[in-house]
Amino acid sequence: MSIAITPEIHLSAITMADAEDINAHLRDYEVSRYTLLIPHPYTLAMAHEWIAIIADDVQRNGRETIWAIRESSGRMIGAVELHVGSAGKQHVSEIGYWLAKSHWGRGIMTAVVKAVAERGFRELGVRRITAPIFAPNVGSARVLEKSGFVVEAPLLRLAYHRDGQFYDGRLYALVREE
């Protein structure tokens, strides 16, 4: 299944054929530096392992929650995830994403975040979507603000630890009220 975002960008399932693109993009430290779950350095074996985990999740849950962001050529340039909460929090999701550095500053991620949030509200019955970020990640902050997210916690002191360094965080949220 393909989800159109713009005439040039769409979302679809991540497959083993994407491993080389994933590895190429995530080897760039600038892409992963403000993430908690993407190690650096990144290897092709890690890409294969991640794709296998995604496939298991789809099999177990019966639906995609992580999508490849693709150019019209089909080449993978990023990923976006909408993780639905557990018991008692099924109305809450958390969004996370990354995009190849060569595609930064083009409005792609803002369009993707808006579309995925709308899909979460419409198809998953989500009422609240959160997006925790590293405070220095100004690019991600801009994406979220342009997508309608509001800063709920402007300073989460020492919220993250990566590469031997502590970072403050921010919590953004988008709420769909009835």
Q: At 94, is the secondary structure helix, strand, or coil?
A: strand
pLDDT in tens, 19-38: 999 999 999 999 999 999 99
Q: Confidence band (pLDDT; 50, 70, 90) for 84?
A: confident
**Share in percent of the chain as helix, strand, coil (round to 5):** 35, 35, 30
Q: Return the bridge partners of 172, or none.
A: 131, 151
Q: Which two tokens stand for residue 69?
A: 């962001």
Query: For residue 64, is pLDDT > 80?
Result: yes
pTM, entire model: 0.94
